[in-house]
Amino acid sequence: MSVNPATCTCDAVPEEELLARLDEVIADYREKPGALIPVLQIAQGIFGYLPEVALKRIAVGLDKPFSEVAGVVGFYSFFSTQPRGRHLIRVCLGTACYVRGGKQVLDALKQKLKCDVGDTTADRNFTLEVARCFGACGLAPAVMIDDDVHQRVKPARLQAILDQYAAPADVPPGHAGGGDGIAQQSLAGAGVAPGHSPLPGHAGGGDGIAQQSLAGAGVAPGHSNVGGE
């Protein structure tokens, strides 16, 4: 079982202190080209997600329109504007998984977790999402929890799988399993080193939306970078 190494204690840190940390990051990146995406990545690491107050701070600090900052966050699936749980559950709804019961697995998960797609459980242990394909079509339906792919999943097996990721009493919620890791893997797939934006900038100024760079990595709008069918 994959274990999320993050031990975020954001819940115990005042927002003012988190914003102060973000200000330091913005100051470090302000004069660097292509600063927006790495600053967003680090901000998500600081807060565990990207609240509006952080996005506004980044927009002002990097002298960018708020609409551009929000647009980049909305475009890339690895950014989240909602608090995420310790573990990220993604149910494959690609063709093979769907016809072999992926939708029934998703419905059963929503019932067990008492949350909908895109939401986080009340104890912030799980965040539930869907994805297009994990590249395991021959073993459909598949569910990915953090970096672990569970194959041929049946609704009756779900509780046993979820029990493997039960929340330890002494670990506070922070990033979703894979939260920043998903971002790093997706950007690495586009040939982007940590701390760099995949965009050299464009005529409109700023980072823009790295459609071509992420398309080269197989990351489509609204999809996690989990392979293709």
What is the DSSP code string of 124-187? SSEEEEEES--S-GGG-S-EEETTEEE-S--GGGHHHHHHTTPPPTT----SPTTHHHHHHHHH
Which residues 6+ apart lie within 8 Å of 9 measured at CB?
A: 172, 174
Residue 111 covered by a domain: yes
Give the model's pLDDT for residue 202: 39
Residue 2 covered by a domain: no
**Whole-angstrom distance between the N-terminal and C-terminal Cα of the chain?**
25
- C-alpha 177/C-alpha 4 separation (Å) is 5
β-pairing, 126-131 vs 143-145, is unpaired
- Both 103 and 36 in a single domain? no
- Both 98 and 153 in a single domain? yes
Residues of the chain whose pLDDT is less than 70? 1-12, 168-229
Distances (CA, A) of 205 to 34, 57, 209, 212: 10, 19, 11, 17
- Going across the sheet that includes 143-145, the strands are 126-131, 87-92, 143-145, 148-150
- Both 137 and 203 in a single domain? no
- Both 194 and 145 in a single domain? no
Domain that residue 102 falls in: 87-163
Residue 197 covered by a domain: yes
Largest CA distance in the chain: 54
For residue 145, the cross-strand partners are 89, 148
Which amino acid is it at 14? P
Residue 228 covered by a domain: no
Give the model's pLDDT for residue 12: 64
Give the model's pLDDT for residue 183: 43
What pTM, to 2 d.p., does this model score? 0.56
Give the model's pLDDT for residue 126: 95
- Both 117 and 60 in a single domain? no
- Both 68 and 117 in a single domain? no
Give the model's pLDDT for residue 82: 84
Residue 53 covered by a domain: yes
Residue 169 covered by a domain: no
CATH code of the domain in which 142 resides: 3.40.30.10
If one counts the domains in the chain, the total is 2
Which amino acid is it at 155? P
Angle CA(109)–CA(46)–CA(40) in degrees, nearest 5?
Answer: 90
Residue 153 covered by a domain: yes
- Both 122 and 187 in a single domain? no
Phi–psi pair at 177, nearest 5 degrees: -55, 120
Give the model's pLDDT for residue 205: 41
Give the model's pLDDT for residue 11: 52
Give the model's pLDDT for residue 78: 80
Give the model's pLDDT for residue 169: 58
Q: DSSP class of residue 49?
A: S
